[in-house]
Amino acid sequence: MCLAYQSGSSSNKFSNWDDMKDAYKGKVTKFLKGNKQKGSPIPKNWFEKGGTLEIETLDDGSQIWKYTSAKGDTVPYINQQVKFPKQYMFPDEDIAEFSIGKFTGDRELDKKAALEFLRSEGYDEIPDGYVLHHDYENGKMQLIEEEIHRIFTHYGGNYYNK
């Protein structure tokens, strides 16, 4: 375990389950139940796949969980929400993030609205290698790299805005 302090916040970085258990003095299960970001990868499984986890606690007590894959890709989870960095979004900024109004609660209807927008921007379909992601902001869709979207499990905005 590595403990570092940065401008009023504390950070714990873990690369294996034993270090995490040691840091929470055998109460790691209780810690996870009260703190793990909803839908985020299960730490024990994540470590087994070669990933690391950094948990930053801010002055207000909120936490940012930063999962890094074995390949070195990092995605943070903030306030129970995945926050895909721009580097994993489609390179055309005009369609990397866009609004479809409000989510309907039906993924297929939201996809239909997203496809209408994409067509208006000159794309006949979702670009290869990308998937539509319901951001936590109601109505905001993002085009995220398919592999990143799959590896970094999460509850998307559709879950929270039904």
Mean pLDDT calculated for residue range 139-148: 96
pLDDT of residue 37: 87
Q: Determine the average pLDDT of the residues in 38-61.
A: 94
Reported pTM: 0.86
Q: What mean pLDDT is predicted for residues 81-103?
A: 95
Q: How far apart are CA 119 and CA 75, in angstroms?
A: 29
Q: Which stretches within the chain are classed as H helix? A: 17-23, 28-35, 43-48, 93-96, 107-120, 146-151, 157-160
- For residue 123, which phi and psi values (nearest 5 degrees)? -110, 125
Q: What's the pLDDT tens digit per position in 56-76?
A: 999 988 899 999 999 999 999
pLDDT (tens digit per residue) in 104-141: 888 899 999 999 999 999 999 999 999 999 988 888 99
Q: Between 78 and 26, name the one with better pLDDT.
A: 78
Position 6 scores a pLDDT of 44
CA–CA distances in Å: residue 143 to residues 5, 18, 90, 147? 34, 36, 6, 12
pLDDT value of position 1: 36
